[in-house]
Structure 1
Amino acid sequence: MNTGDAGYGDIARAMAEALRAGAGEWWTSATLQLRHTGGSVSCTAWSDVRENLRVDYGGIARTLFERPPVALEVRLRAGGEYTFTAREDVAAVSPGRLVFDEEFRYPGHPRPGLPRPAAAEPTAAPTDPAVLAEVTRLTAEFAALYAGIKGGPPPLPPGRTEADLAAAEARIGVRLPEDLRALYLLADGDPDDAGLLGPYSPEPLGRLVANYTEGEPGSYGWEDAPDDDGVVFEPVPFGHVKRLSRNDWWVTFGSDRGGNYLAVDLDPAARGRAGQVFEYGRDVYGPLRYVAGSVTAMLTEVVEALRAGKYEDPGEQYLFAETGLRDAEERSYSEVISHAADLDLPAVVAGLPGRELVQEVYLNDPADVDLALFEPLTALRLLKVNRAAVVTPSVGGLEVLESLQISARRVELGALAGHPALWDLQLEDVGEPLDLAVLGTLPRLTRLNLAGSAVPDLGRVCDLPGLRVLELDGDQVRRLLGTGRLLPPLAALFVTGRTTLREMAGLRDAFTGGAPQDTVVEFSAVLQ
């Protein structure tokens, strides 16, 4: 441990001064914690008389951006004495977050390195002549229809060459779909949003390469962190796009200029086809949104709409074909059932339209409930029960259920025995004692949350060799460590409620079996 200030003296003093200024009156001790992630700085502060304090830490944050990511804490007495701690290997405090394995991913969240499909192998061969002819015909018809409506040709840039395409594909290690290659040979994107692909605009080829090569290869990356919900939902129609959080062979090539992005899929699921198109981004939460079977299909739909006079002309260069590429009615993947104690729940579930497409359910305020009532929802993957009395989780008939989250007075855990797909179990604030013996029968159990629940024998957690992520409250952590048992090889540990940086550092050392790290800084001082 480094007990000198290691260059943190001014930062510690500024934190203590900001904390004193924000603490108000009648307090005797206060704590300020900052978390610098490298891209942002967040703040938690409280005193012995106030649960939350507002502290001006803007100037401190600007100073921290010049340093590596770090967690920092000042504990201040009313007399001006303070203790400062900094540690670079603790992710967060209050609530506590320790990540031991940065490479860990939940099921359906692959790391880069997925095998390349044969059709995606870059070959430098010229674009398929038949495909080029069809895309040329469609693009020419779009231009003619556009000119007839607007009085002039669409403002599309010149196309790229076969050599340009081969060079781009060599850089990204992917051969683009033949119709997307053809589109780039005719026009290098649609930077002025003329409406070539309806509500979307293809990016220039150079931007496609940059998108693919920035960060991890491929596209997307949904809820990949260990503290995310992590369940990956399946795009509709089922069986077309693989149920993954990211894929090396998804290539972003366009957007709606509003935070949503268009990608071609070169690694489809069994019912899909290489070159199919989907959307992800700001307005697409949950499953990816399937758009079309190909770029050619998108062009065809745009041309057919313009041909039929179905378009909006807002002026300038814009022309929006009225297609179903975005506006088609879709059944939500998620359902919220509130005031459940007042409802006939089996009738509610049986009456859900498109129930075979429901993948997530939030059940609020039931009384006593047996979860077998959800068996008609054959695609259900995440079920959250809030504020229940007694829950019997008879989920054997929910064969694809991956995440079960329950807060209740009592949970009859024995009903879970042997579920083959469940990897995430969250049992928060369960009042009556939980017997964890049944958890050993869940072959895929990866994440467990017991925070706030009554668990007499926490040591059973140590009997779960597949467990990688654990969430407990502070008292539970201390009890678990007190058992002296060998802990499972965790990828991450989360601790709810207020924690101190010293406590979290101690937990890190206890769970890793290591000595204190060189990244620890701790010292005391007095404000004048």
Structure 2
Amino acid sequence: MNPGDIGREMARLLRDSTRSIEFTSAVLRIHNTGGGLSIQAETKSGRYLNPGMTALADLFLPLPPSIYEVRLSHTGEYAFLATPDVGTTSPAWLVFDDAFRYPGHPLPGMPLPARSRPTGAPTDPAVLARITALAAEFAELYTRIKGHAPKWEPGCTEAQLAEAEERIGARLPEDLRALYRVSDQDDETGLLGRYSHESLGRLVAQYLEGRPGTHGWQETVSDEGVVMETSPAGRVKRLSRNDWWVTFGSDHAGDYLTVDLDPAKNGVSGQVLEYGRNVWGPPRYVAPSVTAMLEEVLRALKAGEFREFASHRLIAEAAFHQDSFRAHDEVMTETTDVSAIVEPELVQELYLNDPGSVDLAILNPLSSLRHLRVNRADSVAADLSGFPLLEAASIESSKVDLAGIAGHPTLWSLSLAGVKHPIDFGHLAGLPGLIRLGLAGLDVPELERVGELSSLRVLTLDDGQVRRLLDAGVTLPSLAAIEITGGAPLAEIVRLRRRLRPDGPAPEVIEASGTLV
């Protein structure tokens, strides 16, 4: 389908969605990610519209990933534009460095610890004997409880293990190797509690698909990016992903087990972590080893601590299933009384909602705080000196005193919103490691000084502020990305991209226009 046909069909579907209302102009934006569609449709007055979703899906899913926009006048004239060089719209993201990552978000290519290099050597005989004995004991208990033996796939050979390790580039922990020698796959019998180890072939396939290791989260530049510490602290490296987290099992419900071959100082190689849809924040520490998991399952079964299902499943009430009471985040609404928080020293993320007027120093008992969000405040004294680990702060307040942020050694992300008075840029210039800054919609008399922030890589401004910088000759060549708010037309965003990177490749743009009859 040619661009003219795409634009005309978008305009027709947009007009059909306005049949019962009066409007002067309307816009329809489609973000085709290559795997799905994001659709925005509204009139100039802000009324949301509902164009034919099925027709839009049929039209756009076969097309290349891109942003598509049509603007329609009530008289029938329309203008169509498409470009793959704008990340999103409303707000718009322009990404100039696809390899940029926030702190704690490593790209693939991490060094492998020497102890985990493939050797081709057979599994440690003592470990193999121990795992074989534990599995046999489980099978005996299972048979006694269920009345039949557990169904396990035959074990792998040493040659199969060596081949798998050569493909992933790392030697598996000895006890996981031994588990695969006993059985290539557990069909949810409960050998590892609610989890099951998957086949060796599946382990290799999961590792090699996409990025090495566990899939990370919050990897795009538009995400917030602060990585929290796994509890207990010091055992797991504080990273969003790791080449040497090797997924080997799951609960078949969206949560996955991984062995950690690259632990932090207080951790051990082969420790087991969990990640997935029910694990919010950092990976969850499960056990120091696969061996420890098997031993805990047996303890629970012997103590009669299990749930028996009508099928073949037998789930031990193992201690490693239980999350610690303290999660990494906390929400406080219309209060600043931290005395009510259990274990305040473990809170890493705080949502402070509707606090009225507040001096942030009152939150100093939250000594492990890494991400602070203040929402809908009247006045904030931003004294951050009592938070030695703080990396990100977003403050929405009518009034804010920023004197207390200057010189903070670990703060790399700051976002301000709702401030009704001019922002003193001098306080921002005193942040030595500021990587991300958000000032959209605010009065910043010395905005041009943003060019002095040598560490700045990601900036959020409104379209008027961006034009102001460009008109002043500030182009910010070190930016990895810029977020532009304000709802500017896609054509204007493309023009701003050209001005921000005049020496870079010209944005790829397709345009068409016409009139509906």
SS at match of 1:10: helix
Contact 2:334 2:356 in 1 (8 A): no
Q: In the superposition, relative to structure 1, how do residues 64 and 142 fare at CA in structure 2: closer, same or farther (>3 Å)?
A: same
Residue 444 (structure 2) aligned to one of 446, 449, 455:
455
The match for 1:510 is 499
Aligned match of 2:132: 136
Aligned to 1:16: 11
Kept after mapping to 2: 8 A contact 1:378/1:399: yes
Structure 2 residue 52 is the aligned partner of structure 1 residue 63: no
Q: Is the 8 A contact 1:15 1:57 kept in 2?
A: no
Aligned to 1:239: 234
2:486 equivalent among 465, 476, 497: 497
Tell me by how many angstroms 1:29 deviates: 1.4
Among 239, 261, 269, the alignment partner of 1:266 is 261
Supply the distance in 2 between the matched residues of 1:521 and 1:514 (Cα, whole angstroms).
Answer: 21
Q: Structure 1 length normalisation: TM-score?
A: 0.95
Give SS of 1:167's match: helix
SS at match of 1:13: helix
Equivalence for 2:300: 305
Deviations 1:420-478 (A, max 9, x none): 10000010121111111122221211000112222122111111121111111222222
Amino acid at match of 2:278: D
Give the letter aligned to residue 485 of structure 2: T
How far off is 1:319 after superposition? 0.5
* 1:399 aligned residue (388, 397, 412): 388
Structure 1's 11 and 486: CA in aligned 2 closer, same or farther, altered over 3 A?
Answer: closer
Give distance in 1, aligned partners of 2:228 and 2:476: 31
> Which residue among 145, 155, 159 is the counterpart of 2:155?
159
Unaligned runs of 5+ in 1: 1-5
Match of 2:399 in 1: 410
For residues 379 and 324 of structure 2, what CA distance do their matches in structure 1 show?
A: 37
1:464 aligns with 453
Q: Secondary structure at the match of 1:103?
A: coil
Q: Contact (CA 8 Å) 2:451, 2:474: kept in 1 or not?
A: yes
Q: 1:176 is paired with a residue of what secondary structure?
A: coil
Separation of aligned partners in 2, 1:362 and 1:252 = 32
Distance (whole Å) between structure 2 residues aligned to residue 152 and residue 133 of structure 1: 24
Deviation at 1:375, TM superposition (A): 1.6
Q: CA deviation at 1:43?
A: 1.2
Moved more, 265-274 or 488-497: 488-497
The whole-number CA distance in structure 1 between the counterparts of 2:340 and 2:89 is 45
Q: Is the 8 A contact 1:94 1:500 kept in 2?
A: no
Cα displacement string for residues 253-296 of structure 1 (whole angstroms, at most 9, x for unaligned residues): 00111101000000000000000001000000112110000000
| 1:306–1:515 CA distance, 2 compared to 1 (3 A) | closer
Cα distance change on mapping 1:399 and 1:50 into 2, 3 Å: closer
**Conserved in 2, the CA contact under 8 Å of 1:426 and 1:448?**
yes
Q: What SS does the corresponding residue of 2:315 show, helix, strand or coil?
A: strand
Shift of 1:514: 3.8
More moved, 304-313 vs 484-493:
484-493
Q: CA deviation at 1:12?
A: 1.0
Contact 1:18-1:57 at 8 Å conserved across structures: no
Aligned to 1:438: 427
With over 3 angstroms needed to count, the CA separation of the structure-2 counterparts of 1:328 and 1:524, relative to structure 1, is: closer
For the Cα contact (< 8 Å) 2:367–2:387, is it kept in 1? yes
Q: Tell me, in whole angstroms, the C-alpha distance in 1 between the residues paired with 2:445 and 2:57.
A: 43
Q: Deviations over 1:346-385 (max 9, x none)?
A: xx21342111211001111122211112221121000111
The CA distance in 2 between the partners of 1:49 and 1:403, in whole Å, is 35
SS of the residue 2:257 aligns to: strand
Could you tell me how far apart the structure 1 residues matched to 2:515 and 2:290 are? 67
Q: Please state if 1:225 is matched with 2:214.
A: no
Q: Which amino acid is 1:85 matched to? A: L
| Root mean square deviation of aligned Cα | 1.4
> Residue 272 of structure 2 corresponds to which residue in structure 1?
277
1:174 to 154, 170, 177: 170
Report the secondary structure of 2:137's partner residue.
helix
- Segment of structure 1 superposing worse, 40-49 or 373-382: 40-49
Q: Percent same amino acid at aligned positions?
A: 52
Match of 2:191 among 173, 179, 196: 196
What 5-or-longer segments of structure 2 have no aligned partner?
A: none
Alignment check: 8 A CA contact 1:359 1:380 kept: yes
1:13-36 deviation digits (Å, cap 9, x = unpaired)? 110000001124221211111111
CA distance, structure 1, for counterparts of residue 505 and residue 293 of structure 2: 58
Q: Give the 3 Å change call, closer, same or farther, for CA 380–50 of structure 1 in structure 2.
A: closer
Match for 1:147 among 143, 146, 168? 143
Query: Which residue number in structure 2 is paired with residue 3 of structure 1?
Result: none
Q: Secondary structure at the match of 1:476?
A: helix
Q: How many angstroms apart in 1 are the aligned matches of 2:131 and 2:382?
A: 54
1:480 aligns with 2:469: yes
Partner of 1:421: 410
Aligned pairs, number = 516
1:356 aligned to 2:345? yes
Q: Which range moved further: 264-273 or 20-29?
A: 20-29
Matched, 1:40 2:29: no
Aligned residue number for residue 363 of structure 2: 374
Paired amino acid for 2:143: A
Residue 220 of structure 1 contacts residue 280 of structure 1 at CA under 8 Å; is this kept in 2? no
Q: Distance in 2 between matches of 1:144 and 1:355?
A: 45
- Per the TM alignment, residue 515 of structure 1 is displaced from its structure 2 partner at its CA by 7.0
In 2, the alpha carbon distance for the partners of 1:114 and 1:90 equals: 30
Question: Matches of 1:447 and 1:526 in 2, distance apart?
Answer: 43
**Alignment TM-score, normalising by the size of structure 2:** 0.97
Quote the offset at 1:336 in angstroms. 0.6
Give the match's secondary structure for 1:290. strand
1:519 aligns to what? 508
Provide the rounded CA distance (Å) in 1 between the counterparts of 2:504 and 2:172: 51
Which stretch shows the higher mean deviation, 498-507 or 63-72?
A: 63-72
Residues 318-351 of structure 1, C-alpha deviations (whole Å, 9 max, x = no match): 10111111124431111111012xxxx3xx2134
For residues 355 and 375 of structure 1, the distance between their equivalents in structure 2, rounded to whole angstroms, comes to 10
For 2:479, give the aligned amino acid.
L
Matching residue's letter, 2:160:
D
